[in-house]
Structures are given as C-alpha cells and as structure tokens.
Structure 1
Amino acid sequence: MFFSVLSSIWSCIYTALLFTWTDYKTIFVPVLAFASGLEPHSNTTSFARCCAWVWLHLLLCNVSNQALGKDEDALNRPWRPLPSGRVSVEQARRLRMLLAASCPAVSFIHSGALGAVSLILVLTTFVYDECKLSKHPLGKNFCNVFGYVTFQAGATLLLARAGVLSADALSAIALAGATIFTTIQLQDFPDIVGDAAAGRVTFPIYAPEFSRWLTVSALLSWSLLLSSFWAIGTTGSMALLALGAVVGVRCVCLRSPAADAATYRLYGVWLVATFLLPWHARAGVA
C-alpha cells in the first residue's frame, strides 16, 4: 500500500514535470536569472518562494496550451502527457481550471500586486488559447511578451526586499518585453511542420525568409542597445554581440528542424545573458 501511494505521487510529479519540461530553459531559468540579476541580495526563503511561484504559473500556461494542442504535440513532442496517454484532454482541462483559480489565490496571499500580476498572466493565457491568438503571428508574439513580462514582474516582486518594483526593474522589464517581441519567433522555427498541420500561422510560416533576417537584425541591434543602456563595458558588449551573431548566423544558414532546435537553445543562452546585464552593470565588470 505504501509503495503504491509513493508510485502514484511520483507519477503525478513526473506528469507535471513533463507538462513544463520544454520551458525550463526558455522561461523558468531565464526568469529566475532576470529576477536574481535585479534583486541579487534576497534570502534563500524568498528565492525558493520565487521558484515555486514561477513553476506553478508555468504549469498553468503549459496545461492550458497543451489541453488544446494534443494533435500538434503528437507531431512535435509525442512524449508530452496528452499525446503519450498519461492524462486525458478532460483531465487536463480540469487541472487548468484548478490552476487558474489557485494561482491568483496563492499570489494574493502574498500581496495585492503579485495577485494582480497573476491575474494578468491567467488572462493572457486565456486569450492566447481560447481566443486563438496563438494562431495569429502578431497576436502570438504579443501574448508571448505579456506572458513573459508578467513572469518577470512576479518573480522580481517576490525577490524585492521593498516588495515593489524599482525604477531599474521597470526599465529592465520594458526592455525585456521589447527584446522578446522581436526575437521570440526563434521558438517557432523548429515547429513549423507541427504548427502548419495544426493550422497555426506563426511568423516563420507567414514570412519564412523575412522572419529569419529580421531575427538576425534584432539580435545584433539588441546586443548593442542593451549593452549601451546598462553600460557594461567593451568586453561584455563584444561578448554579447558575438553570441547574438552566432545565433543569427545559425538562424539564417542552418534551417533543418534539428538545427533550428539547437539554435533556439543557444538563443536561450543569449536571452539569459541579456537578463543578467543589470547584475553585470552593478558588479562593475568590464
């Protein structure tokens, strides 16, 4: 009986991890890096609370998205809980409703500001999935930006000693939103086949050539602009620019699904590097 209960608990944990697996490198780690760069002196308890909040909301977004994208995932990611048969669509939808109610409730216990951030994220998730903005290239990017900056705002609030967002934090969040809006299409290049089969018109499907060259321009431009804004020094600026150039060259020259997936992972490294620029500037590294 005891081992049966343990097996059931582990099965639930493993299923939750599978729901969120692809976004640890794209949302979970980058968001924590962003918040830690702005509030580097927070204690261990605050950081653990921040990790839990980000993961819980990440689970909400993924369950909501995957509950409506089983057929697409069967092509792109057949190991996910729905296409692999670990959970049914109905179970996923019930879990989504539970998370949509519990995430804001937990957040409001901490503070009104965090509760408001959570509600914005829930609304953004609803608009993205239920209003089908995920199938529109511009609408998808807007939702991605709103989702990302609310994750960043929530995580930073949880680490902020004063419990409010500083001027630096607000600037960093605004810049991060603009950066993501112009570069997030990198996540869609590896999934062109599955997105097309699902009837989703992403930016790479709508403008296959232009989207790649725009991505290169955005990566290089933001590398220079963000380095200048945070005044990180010549060495740091050149390192960030070089990394952005590598991602951009791969985006244009290497176009297989496997290569695009590797490029997207490297983009995650570049994105984390941009999120750490406030810490870099504060540390006074050349």
Structure 2
Amino acid sequence: MLSFFPNPITTVQQYIHVAILFTWTDYKTILFPVATFACATAPLYSVFNLLQSVAWIWIHLLLCNVSNQARSKEEDAVNRPWRPLPSGRINQSQAIILRYWTVVICVLWSSSYGLDLIAVTIALIATTWLYDEGGASKTALGKNFCNVAGYVSFELGATKLMGAARQLDIVSTTAIFLSGALIFTTIQAQDFPDVDGDAASGRVTFPIYAPELSRAFTLCSVIAWSIGLGWYWHPGPMIKSVFIILGVYVGCRYYLWRAVEIDKKSYFIFNIWLICAHVLPVHARLGFLYF
C-alpha cells in the first residue's frame, strides 16, 4: 500500500511505479499516437519541443487515468487487476486526493506556456469530469463524445508545443478535425476486449448495446477511413496501398475473429493503424511520403 509518510527514497520509487501503472495501458492508445500526430502535423521543431510535448501529454494522461481509475475499481478488477487500485498499491481515498493534485499540477504546468495551453487543460479537465462524474461514460454516445473531446484536447496541446509556433495553420487544423472524426467513428475498437468489465461497472458501450452492428460498423469505418485518408493526404501509391491493406486487415479482424484475447491483439494492431493514420499529414508538410 502506498504511504504518504515513508522513507523519502522509497516514496519516490513507489510514486513513480504507481504513476506508470496508472498510465501504462494508454501509452499505445494516447501517448504514442498523439506524439506521432503532433510530430507530423506541427511539424516537429526540435528535440526540446519533442520532450516538453511528450511530458505535457504524459502528465495530462495521468490526470485522466487517475480520475477514471479512482472510480472504476470493479471494472479494473475484471479487466486489469494489476492496476494500482485493484492490486492494493493505493486505496480509493488516496487515488481521489492524487486526482485533485494532478488537476493543480496540470493547470500550473500549462500556465508556464500561456493562456492557450491553460484553456486546453481546462477543456480536458471538464471532459474528464463529464466522463467520470457526469455520467457520460455510462452511454455509448456520451462515451464517444468525451473520447473525441479528450483526444482532440491532447492533440491540440501536443501540436502547439511540438512546432516552432503555437498558432495552428490550415494543415494542423484540418488534421485535428479529421482525427476527431476518425476517433468518434472508431473508438469502439477499445471496448471489444472490455465487454465483461464494462458490463460489471454498468456501462453501456457500443459493443454491449449492439454486438453485431458494432463489429460491422467497425469493419466499414476503418476501411472507409483508410481509403479516405489515403485520398485526402495523397501519399505515394505504395504508402497508400499498405495503409489501405492494413485498414482492411484491422476491420476484418474485428468482424471475423471474436474472442477476448483476439480482440486485445486486434486493438493493438488497430493502434498501429491509428499511428499510421496520424503520420499521413506529414506528406502535406514535407512531401516525402511520395513512394
């Protein structure tokens, strides 16, 4: 159990371990895809910009994850028993205290950059509250809207910090808009492996509400986005073909192969596809995806 008054060295080690566990599952779903997106659309200005952007993403990711997991112990006990709360590394009251400290830390962190980053942080805090305390996570539509708002907030903040200037141009604005629409129509990909845990916590996700339709919709939406983004960003024929083939493979996996372990692997491959989708805007900047 995490203690707030032990040996200082032990305390630091425990806090780092707990923080990593809180954010572990979202490195592949948020940290890497968002950082890749920001690098491609800003575009990346320097190594220092990369480091401060990744740090900004991570600390805000911790805010969202602590808030969510502080109230989803039952779900995590089914789906992810190694997380800090179900594994007993931290109790619920400590998690709630940590949740409010991360709010303060994130606001102060963004204040060092200016009002535009503070606004992004406040938007993410409001979205997180709506998702966890406002009950939006209990419905499929509310869950999707919050996921899109959260994802766009991450992308806005990361892109502003990754580039030479924080003013977004037409390429960045368009890329963020398309990314938000993509997430809204494909985010159910993360829910297929978690059906049992979501049902235990009272959530009604798309796969729970419409098991067959959700898989057919995922098949069609992933393939449609693969074709559409390939056409819009206009990379070279080889890049476009590989991206579309990957999208067809991901969509077919979700529709044809239906088991928890298979869905977990499908979601991992989905995130590879998502990262690839987020790289495509770099062609509008640098034009090197011509092959």
Which category of TM-score, normalised to the shorter sequence, fits these structures? over 0.9
Please, which of 45, 51, 62 is the counterpart of residue 48 of structure 2? 45
Native 8 Å contact 2:237 2:290 kept in 1: no
SS state at 1:110 partner = coil
What whole-Å deviation, never above 9, does each CA across 1:215-254 have from its counterpart, x for those lacking one? 1110111111111111112211111110011111110111
Structure 2: runs of 5 or more not aligned: 1-5
Aligned to 2:130: 127
2:173 pairs with 1:174: no
Give the share of equivalent positions with the same residue, in percent.
47
Aligned to 1:23: 26
Which letter maps to 2:273? W
2:240 pairs with 1:232: no
- CA distance in 2: counterparts of 1:54 and 1:120, whole angstroms: 14
Aligned pair count reads: 284
Which letter maps to 1:28? L
Aligned to 2:272: 269
The farther-off stretch of 266-275 and 103-112 is 103-112
Pairwise CA distance, 1:132: 1.1
Aligned to 1:156: 159
TM, length-normalised to structure 2: 0.95
Native 8 Å contact 2:37 2:155 kept in 1: yes
- CA distance in 2: counterparts of 1:197 and 1:125, whole angstroms: 21
Pairwise CA distance, 1:277: 0.1
Pairwise CA distance, 1:278: 1.2
2:67 pairs with 1:64: yes
**Alignment of structure 1 residues 193-208 onto 2, 5 Å:** 193-208=196-211
- CA distance in 1: counterparts of 2:207 and 2:172, whole angstroms: 31
TM, length-normalised to structure 1: 0.97
The structure richer in helix per residue is 1
**Alignment of structure 1 residues 70-85 onto 2, 5 Å:** 70-85=73-88
What whole-Å deviation, never above 9, does each CA across 1:130-168 have from its counterpart, x for those lacking one? 011111000000000000011000000001212211111
Pairwise CA distance, 1:105: 2.2
- CA distance in 1: counterparts of 2:44 and 2:89, whole angstroms: 41
2:111 pairs with 1:108: yes
- CA distance in 2: counterparts of 1:161 and 1:280, whole angstroms: 18
Pairwise CA distance, 1:21: 0.3
Pairwise CA distance, 1:5: 3.3
In the TM superposition, structure 1's runs of 4+ consecutive aligned residues that sit over 2 Å from their partners are 3-8
Native 8 Å contact 2:139 2:204 kept in 1: yes
Which letter maps to 2:129? F
